[in-house]
Amino acid sequence: MRISTLCAVRYAVVVLLSFLTGLSAVAQTAPVWQSVISLGGQHSISGFTIDGAGNYYLTGYFSRPVTIAGRQLTTAGGFDGYVAKLSPSGTLLWLHQLGSTDHDHVHSVAVDKVGNVYVTGSATGTLALGNNLTFTGPAGTEGTMFLIRYSPQGIAEWVQQSNTIAFSTGTSMGFDAAGNLYLTGLYERALTIGSTTITSSNSLRTTRTGYLSRFAAATGSLQSLKTVFHSDATRAVFNGPKLIVLPTGSTYILTSILSNATFGSSTTVTHPNPDSKLNGIAAKYDAQGTLEWVQHFKGGDNRIDAGVADAAGNLFVVGDFYGTTAFGSSILTTSGYINSYDTYLTKISSQGVMQWIQRSVGDGDEHWNDVKLDASGSPYVSGSFQLTTAFGSLSLTAFGSGFHDIVVAAYTPQGQIKWVKQAGSTGFAFDYAQFLAFTSQYDLSVLGNVGGNSTFGPLSLSAGTTENTFLAHLNTSVLATQTPRPSALSMYPNPATDWVQLSACL
């Protein structure tokens, strides 16, 4: 078999490039922390997103006087919620407090393509929204779902709500390609929005049921409302469901269960340890809200904390677990002390087939809280770790003997670790990265909490001894640029005789 000299040289170069490309896919140098600021403390952040101009949006709730991005707030009674818009530099542009004399929570925030802002949660009293809009929950409820739209300037434009006495809340939102707004959450017994009512098969107030709804974003009018999961147990717990909306209107709903549960109309998930340990659930529904498949992370104690889908509809899910858990055909057992958690990151195809799973191995607790994808489809994850831990071939040691340090990590689409980044304080504090957002193609923003004075590489954050929310920035542009891909090689004739022609040499 003969190959021309020129072609042989080209072939050797292609093979070498392929080898170097494989090496460059792993073990990259981590980016440098470029900025960090404090956004105040003593409040819980429940939602974080950005718009096309790089402005940040935060939602959360608090029960005592707080300062949020320089603005001081005092609760009207119980818990109050809030929504804030910040400039790309972290300057407060506007903030709305959502509070009555009872308990009110904001759970999620979403922004559409033109900068309109949507918030959802539950309230138990009257909320004055401005612009002659008011939310009034039915008397006697433990909480009533609300959905509010604000203009880019922070003016309330419409409000939707549940009108039933039983508990209801909104927990997560997303948009399809047509700009319709999807909302998921939980309700007890019955849920009425406008003139549409759905009823749970379980009438007990100790059991909550999941719903999926769709609204016209411009007006807030309800387009569809459907029950998507429920339980017939006398005591059933579902963690607040998280929603990922695909351009077609198909959706992923992520939750964690503490009992047997039914997804769709008839798919029953059997919990191996009901009433004692959580199990994670990832479910896919088509554009009409009909169940397509369910993945059950079975056994141990495990939770799904966040998920994201790529352009092909593949689902990336992060969470934590302890004990022995089955993730599809992969059986994982935690490595640290008793009841300490390890993290997982898994990729599931749009058909519900698990592609791969990566985990942490450490002495103490590790948690993943969020996952986002860059332009190449590579997943980035944020969370915390304790003592010492390893993510693939890369290991970390906590700064001190404190509770947790901040960690951010990047993986390839195939699940190989690229780099890990650490930050935090040296004291006995709980530091963690909660949310991620790409402010441009490669600029990664990290939102989280520190329990004291902290270091972010060469940068310092003065937080004293109190909890502080931080907003930090990593620039991953050098690391995320695409390596040129060699042309695929083919040979003919096949089978070969004494002469082979390589298509890449044509």
DSSP, residue by residue, 83-97: EEEE-TTS-EEEEEE
User: How is residue 258 written in tokens?
Assistant: 């503490």
User: Is the bond leading into 495 cis (omega within 30 degrees of zero)?
Assistant: yes
User: How is residue 44 written in tokens?
Assistant: 């819980």
User: What is the spatial distance between Cα 93 and Cα 85, in angstroms, rounded to a whole number?
Assistant: 5
The three-state secondary structure class of 409 is: strand
At residue 488, what are phi and psi to the nearest 5 degrees?
-70, 145
**17 pLDDT above the threshold of 70:** no
Element (H, E) at 374: none
pLDDT band with cut points at 50, 70 and 90 for residue 6: very low
**Mean pLDDT value across the chain:** 86
* Exposed / middle / buried, residue 42 (Cβ in 10 Å: 0-12, 13-18, 19+): middle
Q: Which residue has the higher pLDDT, 177 or 429?
A: 177
Q: In the prediction, which pLDDT does 156 show? A: 98
**350 pLDDT above the threshold of 50:** yes
At a CB cut-off of 8 Å and minimum separation 6, what does 144 contact? 122, 123, 124, 137, 138, 161, 162, 167, 168
* Exposed / middle / buried, residue 108 (Cβ in 10 Å: 0-12, 13-18, 19+): buried
Share of the chain above pLDDT 90, in %: 68
pLDDT band with cut points at 50, 70 and 90 for residue 8: very low
pLDDT band with cut points at 50, 70 and 90 for residue 18: very low
User: What is the spatial distance between Cα 42 and Cα 341, in angstroms, rounded to a whole number?
Assistant: 25
Q: In the prediction, which pLDDT does 9 show? A: 38
**1 pLDDT above the threshold of 70:** no
Q: Which residue has the higher pLDDT, 8 or 165?
A: 165
Residue 208's closest CA among 170, 173, 244? 170
Q: Which residue has the higher pLDDT, 464 or 258?
A: 258
Q: In the prediction, which pLDDT does 194 show? A: 93
Q: Cα-atom radius of gyration of the chain, to the nearest Å? A: 24
Q: In the prediction, which pLDDT does 217 show? A: 98
Which amino acid, 43?
H
Q: In the prediction, which pLDDT does 26 show? A: 58
pLDDT band with cut points at 50, 70 and 90 for residue 452: confident
Q: In the prediction, which pLDDT does 492 show? A: 29
Give whole-number Cα distances, 363 to 326, 389, 390, 423, in Å. Answer: 21, 6, 9, 18
At a CB cut-off of 8 Å and minimum separation 6, what does 120 contact? 106, 107, 108, 145, 146, 147, 148, 169, 170, 171, 172, 173, 183, 185
Q: In the prediction, which pLDDT does 12 show? A: 41
The three-state secondary structure class of 22 is: helix
Q: Which residue has the higher pLDDT, 224 or 277?
A: 224
Q: Which residue has the higher pLDDT, 206 or 425?
A: 425
Which amino acid, 98?
L
Kindly report the number of other CB atoms within 10 A of residue 503's CB atom.
11
pLDDT band with cut points at 50, 70 and 90 for residue 465: low
Q: What is the mean pLDDT of residues 156-173?
A: 95
**493 pLDDT above the threshold of 50:** no
pTM of structure: 0.88
Q: What is the mean pLDDT of residues 49-72?
A: 93
User: What is the spatial distance between Cα 119 and Cα 282, in angstroms, rounded to a whole number?
Assistant: 24
pLDDT band with cut points at 50, 70 and 90 for residue 497: very low
